[in-house]
Structure 1
């Protein structure tokens, strides 16, 4: 899926980074092609764990976007709670069970990636 998009990088937003105390350990559980694209996580060592856990996922991602300031970005999540209005258009809402394997989520992800690639080419 990401092969036509070599510039795509991944920021993990998962409590497993806290559990394993390392984004590298969590990334290691991904297939090699995805693992190589991981550039960080929404949780980092300078953050307060309990405060981070209290934040809805959308707020965690928004805080990371403000910190990293990517030119273009998408978020894949199965929970639409806590997303700020300016960030919601970047959210690809996935199915809680099927993830991006749901036809709607996969179609939206493909369309968004293609749109971003077209925009970057111009």
Structure 2
């Protein structure tokens, strides 16, 4: 990955659909009104103006389903932007075991990825706001778990943050 890439760390649950997804034998199941990834077209439309933005999956789906299976759930226009995920079996190295990775906050997982990749221009779209350092809060676009990207306020914040990171010199 290039050092100067503009990255959006993307969670699924509470962002692209309500945070009411459970794993069953049939796969992920939404236990709320709507459908899985019902707000994904909103993200795809917002990203149309920012072709330099790449996606890194920061969802727990990768840990439970694997990268390729998780990627297949995304609509094509988002899938084509994905360059990796915060979780990979090799990412657990340096911590005693993979379970310790699961114990880390989403913030810790994202920061570790950003540091290892020497990212300068990144934001995270997530409903998990635990552990975010005040000094890095500008990197987080927090979603309401039941509203995700259906919230006009969240959409506006995301658009402003994307505009800001894309206007910075590489």
By the TM > 0.5 criterion, same fold? yes
Higher strand share: 2
Describe the superposition over 1:5-52 as per-residue Cα deviations: whole angstroms up to 9, x where unpaired: 11111111112112122x222111101010011111111121132011
In structure 2, the partner of 1:24 is 68
Q: Which consecutive residues of structure 1, in runs of 5 or more, have no partner in the other structure?
A: none
In structure 1, the partner of 2:162 is 113
Contact 1:13 1:61 in 2 (8 A): yes
Q: Alpha-carbon deviation of 1:71?
A: 2.7
Larger Rg computed on CA atoms: 2
In structure 1, the partner of 2:88 is 44
State the number of aligned residues: 120
The TM-score normalised by the length of structure 2 is 0.65
- For 1:85 and 1:63, the matched residues in 2 are separated by 17
Compare relative contact order (CA 8 Å, sep 6+) and give the higher one, 1 or 2.
Answer: 2
- For 1:29 and 1:12, the matched residues in 2 are separated by 12
In structure 1, the partner of 2:113 is 64
**Alignment root-mean-square deviation, CA:** 1.6
Tell me whether 1:7 sits opposite 2:49 in the alignment.
no
Q: Alpha-carbon deviation of 1:120?
A: 4.3
Contact 2:86 2:110 in 1 (8 A): yes
